[in-house]
Amino acid sequence: MTKSPQSRFGAATIWTVVSLFVAVAGFGALFKLYSASPTAITRAAASDIFVDATEASGVNFVHTNGMKGEYYFAEIIGSGVAVFDYDNDGRVDILVLNGAALGETRSSDTSSSCSARLFHNELTVGESGAPAVKFKDVTEKSGLCSSGYGMGVATGDYDNDGFLDVFITQFAGPNRLFRNQGDGTFKEVTAIAGVGGNGRWGTSASFFDYDRDGFLDLYVANYVDYSLADTRRCYNFTSARDYCAPVAFRPVPGILYHNLGNGTFEDVSINSGITKAFGNGLGTIAADVNGDGWPDLFVANDGNPNQLWINQKDGTFRNEALERGVAVNVDGAAEAGMGVDIADVYGTGNEDIFVTHLTREKATLYRNLGHGGQFEDASAVAGLYVATTPFTGFGTAFVDYDNDGWPDIVIANGAVHVIEDQVRAHDPFPLHQTKQLLHNLGDGKFADVSTKAGSAFSLSEVGRGLAVADLDNDGGMDFVVANNNGRLRIFLNKVGALRPWVGLRLLTGSRDAYGAKVEFRRHGGRTLWRRVHSDGSYLSASDPRLVIGLGEASEIEELVVHWVDGTEERFPPPALRTYTTVAQGSGILVAKP
């Protein structure tokens, strides 16, 4: 990607911006209001917020969970999806993981083929200015061939070459790292890098630079001590056979890898202290929750107390989840943590934590009270009980779908225990539920707008992975859902572009500046805070670019970036309705006392 100074800031301006679209021919008319453009993607009612663009996108991927009536626990857990721009062409691509045959049929499974599929975004813009999202399966050509039973995926540029690499966790197989070679191809480097794991069942993973040495480290959550050889049988409350609950198995600790900066990693799990507490790890996300400038790590555990690993700034972590109020809910109960995301829900500059859970447990919003990262369960006041208790939530993300400046929530739901009504209807996989869209009202409350969000949200499927990105570069955040034993779904946002927005890609060196925080000061509006990350959700990785909705206050005063190394830089207001690249070292350094 080229970088060039934007002339309207004058030659003296030392920050660097570039429209991503200079690399994409024919995008001149892209930034028309989306609603003014006829969509060729799908039939959509006028009121639809999201449309299901799966069919039109050319992606026809159906996940297989390998089930054959044996109720293998792994069947209901996967899999994840990543949305990331692997070739830096300014268009976000999709990598979706797949399961494989389980049990006795495994020997004849697809172990030699590529179960995960990589789809290149071939986005075009028609004469009318309407974007048309099309994807092309480039798996074999790319060399990103991951066989086996895929679970989770993380994306991060571990070798700082400017191209996002891919880490995949697996059930019953080693985790895998694929290095992006920068020419549209990948090479597996698991053995060299030393990140294959310890034979445990890996789930979500996070790339983050915990020691601020400029190289992305890697945390891998592990789920439970389970293998296909485990023949225990579990039953539901009616006494019929059902999938086991995770509490039937022993939890196992996660793994922290320190990036040595030479293409290899060192397992520092024990020395860093992160093996001192563990549960059935499913969701992970890194963020500086106590505001000390060092990235911390949140792990959502399925049925055990969560962990909040506070960075001790010396290569070690301390689990402070209980004392900081995020281990358990307001009743002191551990919940079945699945997906997780972190964002500034209340507009205070403090980042809040959202975790999805089982039916009856509601999703939990831990409000950050400030005071160095103290939290309280704010789910009741936020209106999350009524909205979320009927569902088992997995993939989730804060996404400001209407660009009003307030992070909303999208959730992919899907049960883990058979649903009686669906059994009665002879459904072969009676776990499906609808997705949800929760609108942030800006007063600490969320409204369930799923029924108004379009037919996309009435699709009842077994949702698991979920990742967000602006797939058609129109400024509206889209999302992708990986369904268990179902089709990958692509949902495009119809309303985001109706409000002004700013797109940012933050770079430290030539890689995405994971962990950097953006402070967006506006005339006539509150300051907006956003953080660069690709982790969170469930088994999935999102695009690290930021789309910042400006709502009714689009006059930008200035942009301040808080980089992970502790420095702060000021940048002039970026252009509206386009993507701008902001590189560390090109702004005005903010002096600190």
CA separation for the pair 477, 126 (Å, rounded): 20
Is residue 229 part of the contact set for another protein (CB under 8 A)?
Answer: no
Is residue 115 part of the contact set for another protein (CB under 8 A)?
Answer: no
| Closest CB to another protein among residues 36, 240 | 240
Among 26, 126, 332, 566, binds another protein (CB under 8 A): 332
User: Which long-range contacts (C-beta less than 8 Å, at least 24 apart) are formed by 228-237?
Assistant: 228/72, 228/74, 228/102, 228/103, 228/106, 228/172, 230/73, 233/71, 234/71, 236/417, 236/418
Of the listed pieces 84-92, 131-139, 385-393, 565-573, which binds another protein according to CB under 8 A?
A: 385-393
Cβ atoms of residues 553 and 528 within 8 Å: no
Is residue 333 part of the contact set for another protein (CB under 8 A)?
Answer: yes
| Closest CB to another protein among residues 10, 237 | 237
Among 36, 191, 240, 270, binds another protein (CB under 8 A): 240
Is residue 451 part of the contact set for another protein (CB under 8 A)?
Answer: no
CA separation for the pair 507, 580 (Å, rounded): 11
Is residue 187 part of the contact set for another protein (CB under 8 A)?
Answer: no
Is residue 591 part of the contact set for another protein (CB under 8 A)?
Answer: no
Is residue 111 part of the contact set for another protein (CB under 8 A)?
Answer: no
Helix (H) or strand (E) holding 54: helix 54-57
CA separation for the pair 501, 34 (Å, rounded): 13
Tokens of 141: 């050509």
Q: Cβ 462 to another protein, closest distance in Å? A: 17
Q: Cβ 232 to another protein, closest distance in Å? A: 11
CA distances 42 to 92, 133, 451, 493, Å, are 20, 11, 18, 12
Instruction: Give 44's DSSP letter.
Output: -
Is residue 236 part of the contact set for another protein (CB under 8 A)?
Answer: yes
Instruction: Give 289's DSSP letter.
Output: T
Of the listed pieces 25-33, 374-382, 523-531, 584-592, which binds another protein according to CB under 8 A?
A: 374-382
| Closest CB to another protein among residues 137, 376 | 376
For the segment 141-180, give every residue that binds another protein (CB under 8 A).
Answer: none
Q: Cβ 243 to another protein, closest distance in Å? A: 14
| Closest CB to another protein among residues 423, 590 | 423
Encode 178-198 in three state secondary structure.
EEECCCCCEEECHHHHCCCCC
For the segment 43-102, give every residue that binds another protein (CB under 8 A).
Answer: none
Q: Cβ 483 to another protein, closest distance in Å? A: 21
Beta strand pairing status for 352-355 and 364-368? Answer: antiparallel
Tokens of 70: 């044996």
Taking phi over 0 as left and psi of -120 to 50 as alpha, with beta for the rest, 449 belongs to alpha
* Residue 528, Cβ density class (10 Å: 0-12 exposed, 13-18 middle, ≥19 buried): buried
Q: Cβ 434 to another protein, closest distance in Å? A: 13
| Closest CB to another protein among residues 46, 425 | 425
Is residue 334 part of the contact set for another protein (CB under 8 A)?
Answer: yes
3-state secondary structure of 308: strand
Which distant-in-sequence residues (6+ apart) come within 8 Å of 371 by Cβ? none
Tokens of 154: 């993380």
Beta strand pairing status for 501-508 and 579-583? Answer: parallel
Please count the CA atoms within 13 angstroms of the CA of 153 that sit on its side-chain side. 34
Among 91, 117, 179, 362, binds another protein (CB under 8 A): 362
Of the listed pieces 149-157, 317-325, 471-479, 512-520, which binds another protein according to CB under 8 A?
A: 317-325
Is residue 325 part of the contact set for another protein (CB under 8 A)?
Answer: yes
Instruction: Point out which residues bind another protein (CB under 8 A).
Output: 235-241, 304-305, 322-323, 325, 328, 330-334, 359-360, 362, 369, 374, 376, 378-383, 385-386, 388-391, 420-421, 423-424, 445
